[in-house]
C-alpha cells in the first residue's frame, strides 16, 4: 500500500483533483439533500455534525500518547515491549497507524535526551500525538534542531546539562519516533490516569520534559 | 455522543483509507466535511455498522478503478465515492434521497 507517501507530492489523484463549479454545485446539492433529509427525520443536527468533524480533525491527539507513556511508567513489562516494538505495544492500547508506519519509541534517561524532528517535511506519529504543532512543520525548527539542538531546547525552556547526550531523531515516511520522557520527580504514588495528565505533546516530541507540576 | 474518534473509522487502511497529509484529514470543499460527518454521525447513533459503510465505500472505489486508469484526473475523488456509499446505505434503509437541481 502506498497511499501515505509524504515525501512525494502528487501520488494521489485525489490531491490533484480539480472540479469545475458546475460539478461542485451538483455534489453540494446531493450532500445538502441528505442533510435536509436527516435533519427533518431528527437523525442529525447541524451542530452535531460540526462537532463530529472537529473531533476527527483534532482529537487523534496527544492524550493517546500520554496514555502510552503513563502505562510505560507504571508497568515495566509494558515499557520493555514498547521500547522493543513501539507499533505493537501502542496497538495494545488501541492506537495504530496506517500500514508502513512504524513507531519507534526512544527513552529519555539521566544520560540521554531525545528529540524528534522531520527534516524533510512534517512526518509525525499522528495516531499517538494527533496533529503536529505549526512550529514542528516550519523550516526554522526543522533545520535548526539538527545543527543546534541544545539552542532549540533552550528556546523551549529546556536546559540540558553538558554531560547529557542529546540525540536527534529524523522521522521519515517509514519510521516515526515518539519520546518516552523521564517520569518526573514528585509523581510517586500517582495512578496511571494522573500520570497521563503530566505528559504533554511537547514532552513526547522531546522539546520539553514531563513535569509533576504540569497538571 | 462519545467524544473520541472510533478507531475503525479513524484508522481505515487500504483502499478506504481517509485522505490525509501528514496525518491531517484533507477536505477540499465544505460538502466533503458534511458528507464525512453525516456518515460518522449515523454510525455513532447505530444507524448502521461501520463495516457496512466501509464495504460500500470500497465497492465504489473498486468500481471507479475499473473504469478510470490510475492518475486520471477525471476520475471521481475519494469523497465522491464516500457520498455514493452514503446514499446507497441510506437507500437500503428506506431513506431515498433525491437532490433537486
Per-residue model confidence as pLDDT tens digits over B35-74 = 999 999 999 888 999 999 999 999 998 898 888 887 777 7
Average pLDDT over every residue of A126-155: 85
What pLDDT, on a 0 to 100 scale, did the predictor assign at position A77? 98
In chain B, what are the domain boundaries?
A: 7-92
B67 in contact with A at a CB cutoff of 8 Å? no
A121:B22 CB<8 A: yes
B74 alpha-carbon distance from chain centroid: 19
Determine the Cα–Cα distance for residues A93 and A84; give it in Å rounded to an integer. Answer: 16
B20:A4 CB<8 A: yes
Whether the model pTM is above 0.95: no
Determine the Cα–Cα distance for residues A41 and A71; give it in Å rounded to an integer. Answer: 44
B74 in contact with A at a CB cutoff of 8 Å? no
B59 in contact with A at a CB cutoff of 8 Å? no
Q: How many CB atoms lie within 10 A of CB B75?
A: 18
Determine whether A122 is an active site residue.
yes
Q: Measuring CA to CA, which residue among B65, B81, B71 is closest to residue B18? A: B81
Query: In the structure, what pLDDT confidence band is assigned to residue A9 with cuts at 50, 70 and 90?
Result: very low
Q: Could you give the 3-state DSSP secondary structure of residue A114?
A: strand
Determine whether A2 is an active site residue.
no
Interface of A with B in 41-80 (CB under 8 A): 41, 43-44, 48-53, 55-57, 59-60
Query: In the structure, what pLDDT confidence band is assigned to residue A108 with cuts at 50, 70 and 90?
Result: very high
A39 in contact with B at a CB cutoff of 8 Å? no
Per the listing, cell 502510552 goes with A68
CB nearest to B31's CB, from A3, A28, A52 = A28
- What domains does chain A contain, in order, with CATH numbers? 13-58 (no CATH), 62-214 (3.90.330.10)
In chain B, which ranges are E strands? 20-21, 24-25
> Chain A residue with minimal CA distance to B23?
A126
B41:A33 CB<8 A: no
Query: In the structure, what pLDDT confidence band is assigned to residue A22 with cuts at 50, 70 and 90?
Result: confident
B69 in contact with A at a CB cutoff of 8 Å? no
A112/A130: higher pLDDT: A112
Q: Across all residues in chain B, what is the average pLDDT?
A: 82
Query: In the structure, what pLDDT confidence band is assigned to residue A16 with cuts at 50, 70 and 90?
Result: very low
Determine whether A134 is an active site residue.
no
Amino acid at each position: 500500500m502506498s497511499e501515505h507517501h509524504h515525501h512525494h507530492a502528487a501520488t494521489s489523484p485525489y490531491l490533484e483533483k480539480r472540479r469545475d463549479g458546475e460539478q461542485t454545485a451538483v455534489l453540494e446539492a446531493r450532500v445538502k439533500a441528505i442533510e435536509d433529509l436527516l435533519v427533518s427525520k431528527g437523525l442529525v443536527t447541524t451542530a452535531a455534525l460540526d462537532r463530529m468533524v472537529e473531533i476527527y480533525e483534532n482529537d487523534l491527539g496527544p492524550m493517546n500518547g500520554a496514555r502510552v507513556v503513563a502505562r510505560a511508567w507504571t508497568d515495566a513489562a509494558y515499557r520493555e515491549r514498547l521500547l522493543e516494538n513501539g507499533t505493537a505495544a501502542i496497538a495494545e492500547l488501541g492506537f495504530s497507524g496506517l500500514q508502513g508506519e512504524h513507531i519507534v519509541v526512544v527513552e529519555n534517561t539521566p544520560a540521554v535526551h531525545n528529540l524528534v524532528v522531520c527534516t524533510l517535511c512534517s512526518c509525525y506519529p499522528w495516531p499517538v500525538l494527533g496533529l503536529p504543532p505549526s512550529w514542528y512543520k516550519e523550516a526554522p525548527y526543522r533545520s535548526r534542531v539538527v545543527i543546534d539542538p541544545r539552542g532549540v531546547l533552550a528556546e523551549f525552556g529546556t536546559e540540558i546539562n553538558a554531560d547529557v547526550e542529546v540525540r536527534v531523531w529524523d522521522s521519515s515516511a517509514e519510521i516515526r519516533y515518539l519520546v518516552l520522557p523521564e517520569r518526573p520527580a514528585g509523581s510517586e504514588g500517582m495512578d496511571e490516569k494522573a500520570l497521563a495528565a503530566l505528559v504533554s505533546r511537547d514532552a513526547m516530541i522531546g522539546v520539553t520534559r514531563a513535569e509533576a507540576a504540569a497538571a | 455522543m462519545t467524544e473520541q474518534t472510533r478507531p475503525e473509522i479513524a484508522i481505515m487502511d487500504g483502499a478506504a483509507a481517509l485522505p490525509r497529509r501528514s496525518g491531517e484529514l484533507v477536505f477540499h470543499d465544505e460538502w466533503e466535511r458534511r458528507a464525512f460527518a453525516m456518515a460518522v454521525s449515523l454510525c455513532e447513533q447505530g444507524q448502521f455498522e461501520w463495516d457496512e459503510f466501509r464495504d460500500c465505500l470500497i465497492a465504489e472505489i473498486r468500481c471507479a478503478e475499473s473504469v478510470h486508469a490510475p492518475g486520471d484526473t477525471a476520475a471521481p475523488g475519494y469523497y465522491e465515492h464516500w457520498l455514493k456509499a452514503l446514499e446507497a446505505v441510506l437507500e437500503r434503509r428506506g431513506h431515498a434521497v433525491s437532490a433537486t437541481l
